[in-house]
Structure 1
Amino acid sequence: MTAAVTEPRGAGASVFVSNGGVRLHVLDNGLLGAAAPPVVVVPGMGESAAEYGWLLDQLGERRAVVVDLRGRGGSDAPASGYAWEDHISDLGAVISALEVERPVLVAFSRGSSYALGYALEHPEQVRGLVVGDYGARHVRPPDAVVERQLRAEIRGVPMIDRMAEHAARAVFTESRDVPLWNRLSGLNFPVLVIRGGRRSTVVTDQVADQWRRALPAVEIATIPGAGHDLWSGDPDAYLAALIPFLDRLTDVGRDGA
């Protein structure tokens, strides 16, 4: 069930979707019936949908939505329920409730593991996947690393200030390591991995090679001046990697594939 909110944010309006009693906030540009494949944006850990209003503005004549995963942005922050599977379920609820047909999933950082999990469960419902500087796995960091990550800053704001503390902690403590490399051969749609060229990137040359071994058809694009934060320093460079990939999927769709 969805309920529209009239307040616009950038190119999108706020919509709410219920998933098992958890209310999820979504930004939706409302371009129903657009010819290009729709896009579902999945932010990273601690990021909110509102930070991606600029991206909706740049996606042209495409239906595009950005999801506030549970515990983030305008979505509910339940006391528990932050496992990998819960986040995958959130994506499924949004895609189903908003009737987003065969979207391209555009994900960032930890959001990539949720998008990849959804794509592996529903490959027939996905047109393409963009992984934002991440490997093919869901990660449960050691406790000592969790504390550092909770205090790490994203665009000048500490993680712990971006989410309710119980939700931020639960995202890590309720997670488990889920390696996905050996499942990538089951993907039957194009996949693009975007990484930064600086040393702070997650997809190092070694991880890029691991992507190529596990999924020979994968495309890998490198943004030379970026680190793990792929776009805030130079949005145009990020778009230069993303938009041609989306355009190729549009051309494939027009050819009837």
Structure 2
Amino acid sequence: MIRRHIARKPLYSGIASREGRSAARSCSLDRESFSRPELSSALMTTAPHPGRPVGPDSSAQPVALLALDDTLTDRAAAFAAWAKEFAAAHSLPEQWLHDADAEHSGRRRDFFALAKTTYALPGTVEEHYTAFRRRTPQLVPHRPAVNAAIQALAAHGWQLAVVTNGDHDAQHAKLAAAGLADLLPTVVVSSDHGVRKPDPALFHAALARLGATTKEAWVIGDSLEADIAGGNRAGLRTLWLSHGRPHPGGPLPQHTADDIVEACAWLLAQER
């Protein structure tokens, strides 16, 4: 039975309203291109790490290995846009799709099998699954504040790469829809390497592409298992994006921020 719940609010929904505020004094950037609200000290707790700190005494270029889904992009917003289209096309309740997604996220064929059984959908489960995988990357929203944050890192000499689990074409389509493809040309996708995060091999493949070492690199992502545990195992510093969630226990990051914009501001502030 599907449990009722309220559909998740898309991530970063408050960014636009916050862009005009003054940034935290320790993380202030050019206000015309990149501003953030005052950063919460509760979110900015850094654990000790033996690696070289990022700062003015650092001799090598710093590196950021960035997750994609729910880090650079907003999965909830893309799913909500798809659900609206699909519900209208098949005359079924939009909220039902959100409820089913909560039950079957990560098991998308089961999701469509349930939808087909419940609402007698035409077509096969595989046809709906294929159409979903093709359409949802196109619905990933473009968020200027995220793009500005990535541009700020690049402008300050950071080497950047995307490290993501998923299908090559779908993940690249998400980056294009978000307006990030040109900003992040180095993309390491699990389907191209035969391994998935948290396997350290995927992070090491990204470092090899950049010609970088573990001492220079941070892993930034929202998944404690895939990103934080994986980055820790790879010998990298890790920064968890909490999206307002308390840490549930398990893998510990060296630092926590609320979202990718806040994370980028914090990384740049360490150079001062």
Shorter-chain TM-score: what band?
0.3 to 0.5
Greater percentage in strand: 1
Greater percentage in helix: 2
Compute the TM-score of the two structures, normalised by the length of structure 1.
0.36
Larger Rg: 2
Q: Which has the higher contact order (CA 8 A, sep 6+)?
A: 2
